Amino acid sequence: MFTCDKDRMQDKISTFSKFGDAGHGGITRYSLSPEAHQARDEFVKRMKAIGATIETDDMANMYATIPGSEPGLKRIVMASHVDSVKNGGNYDGILGVMTAMEVLETIVDQKIPHRHPITAMIWTNEEGSLYPPAMMSSGVVCNDYLPPEIGKKFKKENMLKSVSVLDKTKTFGEALDASPYKGDEKNRLNPDKYMAMFELHIEQGPILEDAGNEIGVVTCVLGMFNYRIRFFGQSDHAGTTPMHKRQDALYAAAQALCYLHEEIDKLGRPELVYTTGEIVCHPNVHTVIPDMIDFSIDCRHEDPEVRAKVLEIVKSLEKREWAKCRCEVELAWQRDTVYFDKELVGYVKESADALGYKNQYINSGAGHDAQFVSYMMPTTMIFVPSKDGHSHCEPEFTPVEDCTKGASVMLNAVLKADKK
């Protein structure tokens, strides 16, 4: 078994943490921003130093490839992203790129024989923080293989029109045209040229740390749904309308949200997660009784039958009256559970066991580019622990020892795949 270099891993972590440093230990590195281009420049510099060939595609996805010993074989790719959310951490996404680089550096440094070309890849705009939606480039590149209801949301012509959340006069297409890393569509990840993809990522939750495990062997990305729940009441003056006369949409929504929690919790599924993360209040004036509330409900679970039971509870809201207000429930987004390739999952498990790293099977509640790629070719993921479960925030942290162990697991799993 081969292992990666902790000092070299730490050097990458320290270096990439400077690109978009928010000044408080975190990162703001929007896709195709100057900070993201700094990270890409560093990627190119380090990969060229080991003799890798650099390619870019029409979505500015980047590929650094070292050749294999047998010409004509398909590539094995390790991929993640360098963009972040606002005031995010220095590990989400970028760690997957840094560990992919570390795998290539280790192979070259230790002269490890391999048959297939092996590639480290950067996906453009995974977070969608500046130009929505999230997982934009993988949605475009994998579009022909995605379920139609998902693929239609990621048509390239529409993605190019995505408007910056900070400047409504700028689009993703304009940022792409201005990027020195925009390349040719022929260089895209595709099943004719690539045989498999690995993605290493921080867990973004507390499960591995709580269990005392060092590696998460990811089996799937959870199925989920997101519905919009709206309540319609009547706006009136806050100071002159008696309480018993009111049709307060916010009060109705509050009652319904408490009802949802009570009823969903009765299902007794501790692995089930659901969230209300967005609320719109109209007219949102402190002297006016709200006449409309729109809030989200996001539910995630592996089993479609469990999700169906939750959905039944959500839809039951429409059949009841809430504080004299009318309720509507509307689907916003849903996806099935995406299972990763069993053979690749096995390679990850075998590698972690052989290296003596404590590990467990785990699912991903968060979405990743790997879930879209899995429709196109064999794919899997590797998780490393997140300190205190934090992610998408400045305290996000994974010790370099765990980062290096994750890279070592990926290295050996890739070498197992290389024998095919």
> Residue for token digits 């993921």?
381
What pLDDT score was predicted for residue 25?
Answer: 77
Write the CB contacts of 156 (distance below 8 Å, at least 6 apart in sequence): 59, 140, 143
Answer whether 348's CB lies under 8 Å from 405's CB. Answer: no
Question: Which helix (H) or strand (E) is 312 found in, with range?
Answer: helix 304-315
Residue 62 backbone phi and psi in degrees, to 5: -115, 145
Instruction: Check which CATH number belongs to the domain holding 308 and give it.
Output: 3.30.70.360
Separation between Cα atoms, residue 373 and residue 380, nearest integer Å? 9
What pLDDT score was predicted for residue 307?
Answer: 98
CA-closest candidate to residue 214, choices 228, 224, 227, 200:
200
Answer whether 54's CB lies under 8 Å from 40's CB. Answer: no
Separation between Cα atoms, residue 269 and residue 210, nearest integer Å? 19
Decide which of 313, 335, 357 is a domain's last residue.
335
Decide which of 335, 351, 379 is a domain's last residue.
335
CA-closest candidate to residue 304, choices 335, 327, 273, 331:
335
The pair of structure tokens assigned to 312 is 């039944």
Q: Residue 167 is part of which domain span? A: 6-222+338-418
What pLDDT score was predicted for residue 303?
Answer: 97
Is the same domain home to 77 and 150? yes
Rg, Å, the chain Cα set: 23
Question: Which helix (H) or strand (E) is 46 found in, with range?
Answer: helix 34-49
Domain total for the chain? Answer: 2
Write the CB contacts of 341 (distance below 8 Å, at least 6 apart in sequence): 196, 374, 378, 379, 380
Low-confidence ranges of the chain (pLDDT < 50): none
DSSP 52: P
What pLDDT score was predicted for residue 22?
Answer: 87
Is the same domain home to 371 and 360? yes
Is the same domain home to 22 and 62? yes
The pair of structure tokens assigned to 231 is 């309540």
* CA-based max dimension of the chain: 82
Separation between Cα atoms, residue 17 and residue 303, nearest integer Å? 38
Answer whether 302's CB lies under 8 Å from 223's CB. Answer: yes
Is the same domain home to 242 and 364? no
What pLDDT score was predicted for residue 420?
Answer: 85
Angle, CA of 253, 336 and 380, to the nearest 5°: 125
Compute CA distances 75 → 120, 292, 300, 346, 394, whole Å. Answer: 10, 53, 33, 19, 35
User: What average pLDDT does the structure give for the chain?
Assistant: 97
Decide which of 317, 335, 353 is a domain's last residue.
335
The pTM for the full model equals 0.94
What pLDDT score was predicted for residue 23?
Answer: 85
End-to-end CA distance of the chain: 18
Is the same domain home to 54 and 182? yes
What pLDDT score was predicted for residue 302?
Answer: 97
Residue 241 lies in a domain: yes
